[in-house]
């Protein structure tokens, strides 16, 4: 991941917001993500712990953030610990941050090398009563690999068993759900880069092109702007439209088929999320446009439905109701199907079986809990769909949207979404 400069004021503000949620005489510690192995002596590129980045802006591995707002020594109330640069690291791994550079990025004045951590940690934890430690509590996470945070939690509780331990995740989730203006600007930059990639693909696509070639066009646009794919891209032509997490991306795009593009850019550490469904030959068939416009009507209504006070479950139930009506009008469902459906098994699940909104930010599926109510400052996706395997295609549309006190701000409003707009863009080539 290539670093994009963000103001240190963002990270200072985030720490100040966290301080207000900590109990008196508290210590909080966050660790960087590990460098993950591949095979033989290989490693993956480093992906920073999103919570650590949120509070520091630091990308570097093995970093530790130490927060103790009530520490007796005022210089120990906020410390950033880093790997110490050396000639060996410079030759083999490249540049490592100096203390001055880390301060400029994070706004943290007291930066120390990792060798000093054990002594300072022991001194300060003995002054404290409460300890907040971090973990991945995303409700859909499948955590099978032990993290640095997990190892630290185990060692900390073993060595200091009589302290009161608390979960840091609920505090971080509450903070990260509501985006600051700095964060919204960063997400908007990722959305703008996504727009460039989408428009490039619309000019490129034609019958006979392979899904892999389409993926390469997005990659070219994203990487040259120091961006990356925000998630594994879905380039799904024909019947592949109906595979929700299709990732093969190696089939030919045929005349008369639709191409579902669930592809978006990440820029720096902030992500965007876009889905469009476009005709391979530049023109929707009558039936394709009929289904497309039905999904577009649902999309418009769902954007307007993103208001403070609702939960993402509320949005999903509303979307299912709207999609049911459209499926009846499209001849996919009969009213008799709807009348005999069970509350926990709506008939529309045959054609729309996933959620319609999720928070997005430092993670594509950003952190939250299902019971959280939407607040101004949330950034959500809106992604209704209708999948019709029997007809050989599906349609999904998705934008990234900010919820405000006065309505919604669609960060992708400039990306063509009307069927006529898409046809015009594709045929302009």
Same fold, 8-177 and 181-427: no
How far from 230 is each of 31, 152, 179, 283, 291, CA to CA, in Å? Answer: 23, 29, 18, 28, 28
Q: Give the pLDDT score at 411.
A: 98
How many other C-beta atoms are found inside a 10 Å radius of the C-beta of residue 121? 22
Q: What is the pLDDT of residues 232-260, one digit of tens each?
A: 999 999 999 999 999 999 999 999 999 99
- Per the CB < 8 A criterion, the answer to whether 282 and 423 are in contact is yes
Domain ranges, ordered by start, for the chain: 8-177, 181-427
- Per the CB < 8 A criterion, the answer to whether 194 and 415 are in contact is yes
Q: Give the pLDDT score at 1.
A: 66
Q: What contacts 249, CB < 8 A, 6 or more positions away?
A: 211, 212, 214, 215, 233, 234, 235, 236
Residue 400 sits at φ, ψ, to 5 deg, of -105, 125
Q: Please, what CATH class does the domain formed by 181-427 belong to?
A: alpha beta
Return d(Cα 302, Cα 317) in angstroms, integer.
Answer: 11
Return d(Cα 347, Cα 339) in angstroms, integer.
Answer: 9
- Per the CB < 8 A criterion, the answer to whether 426 and 278 are in contact is yes
Which residue, chain included where needed, has tokens 């469009």?
276
Which residue, chain included where needed, has tokens 């290989």?
42
Question: Does an H or E element contain 389, and which?
Answer: none
Map residue 322 onto helix, strand or coil.
helix
3-state secondary structure 249-317: CCCECCCCCEEEEECCEEECCEECCCEEEEECCCCCCHHHHHHHHHHHHHHHHHHHHCCCCCCHHHHHH
Q: Which residues pair with 229 in a beta bridge?
A: 265
Residues 78, 79, 80: CA angle, nearest 5 degrees: 135
- Architecture in CATH for domain 8-177: 3-Layer(aba) Sandwich (3.40)
Map residue 219 onto helix, strand or coil.
helix
Q: Give the pLDDT score at 429.
A: 65
Query: Which two structure tokens, joined as six digits, stand for 28?
Result: 């909080």
Query: Which two structure tokens, joined as six digits, stand for 422?
Result: 């898409």
Judge if pTM exceeds 0.75.
Answer: yes
Q: Give the pLDDT score at 344.
A: 85
Return d(Cα 35, Cα 27) in angstroms, integer.
Answer: 26
Ranges of the chain whose pLDDT falls below 50: none
Query: Which two structure tokens, joined as six digits, stand for 288?
Result: 């394709």
Query: Which two structure tokens, joined as six digits, stand for 191?
Result: 């959305």
Q: What is the pLDDT of residues 319-330, one digit of tens each?
A: 999 999 999 999
Return d(Cα 14, Cα 56) in angstroms, integer.
Answer: 9
Q: Give the pLDDT score at 39.
A: 92
- Per the CB < 8 A criterion, the answer to whether 198 and 415 are in contact is yes
């Amino acid at each position: 991941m290539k670093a994009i400069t963000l103001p240190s004021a963002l990270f200072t503000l985030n720490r100040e917001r966290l301080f207000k949620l900590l109990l008196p005489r508290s210590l909080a510690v966050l660790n960087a993500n590990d460098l993950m192995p591949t095979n033989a002596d290989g490693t993956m590129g480093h992906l920073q712990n999103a919570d650590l980045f949120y509070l520091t802006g630091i990308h570097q591995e093995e970093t530790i953030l130490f927060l103790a707002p009530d520490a007796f020594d005022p210089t120990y109330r906020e410390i950033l610990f880093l790997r110490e640069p050396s000639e060996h690291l410079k030759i083999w791994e490249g540049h490592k941050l100096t203390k001055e550079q880390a301060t400029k990025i994070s706004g943290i004045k007291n930066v120390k090398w990792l060798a000093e951590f054990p002594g300072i940690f022991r001194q300060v934890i003995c002054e404290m009563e409460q300890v907040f430690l971090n973990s991945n509590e995303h409700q859909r996470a499948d955590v099978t690999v032990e993290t640095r945070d997990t190892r630290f939690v185990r060692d900390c509780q073993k060595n200091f068993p009589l302290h009161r331990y608390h979960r840091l995740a609920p505090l971080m989730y509450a903070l990260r759900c509501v985006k600051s203006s700095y964060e919204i600007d960063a997400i908007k930059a990722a959305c703008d880069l996504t727009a460039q990639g989408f428009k490039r693909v619309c000019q490129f696509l034609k019958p006979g092109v392979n899904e892999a070639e389409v993926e390469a066009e997005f990659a070219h646009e994203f990487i040259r702007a120091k961006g990356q794919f925000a998630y594994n891209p879905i380039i799904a032509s024909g019947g592949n439209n109906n595979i929700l997490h299709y990732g093969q991306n190696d089939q030919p795009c045929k005349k008369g088929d639709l191409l579902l593009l669930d592809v978006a850019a990440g820029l720096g550490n902030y992500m965007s999320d876009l889905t469009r469904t476009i005709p391979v030959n530049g023109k929707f068939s009558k039936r394709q446009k009929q289904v497309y416009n039905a999904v577009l009507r649902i999309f418009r209504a769902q954007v307007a439905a993103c208001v403070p006070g609702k939960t993402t479950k509320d949005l999903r139930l509303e979307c299912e109701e709207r999609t049911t009506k459209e499926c009846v009008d499209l001849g996919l469902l009969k009213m008799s199907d709807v009348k005999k459906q069970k509350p926990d098994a709506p008939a529309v699940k045959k054609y729309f079986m996933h959620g319609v909104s999720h928070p997005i930010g430092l993670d594509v599926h950003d952190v939250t809990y299902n019971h959280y109510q939407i607040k101004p400052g949330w950034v959500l996706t809106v992604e209704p769909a209708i999948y019709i395997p029997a007809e050989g295609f599906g349609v999904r549309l998705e934008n990234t949207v900010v919820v405000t006190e006065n309505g919604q701000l669609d960060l992708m409003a400039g990306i063509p979404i009307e069927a006529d707009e898409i046809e015009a863009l594709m045929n302009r080539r």
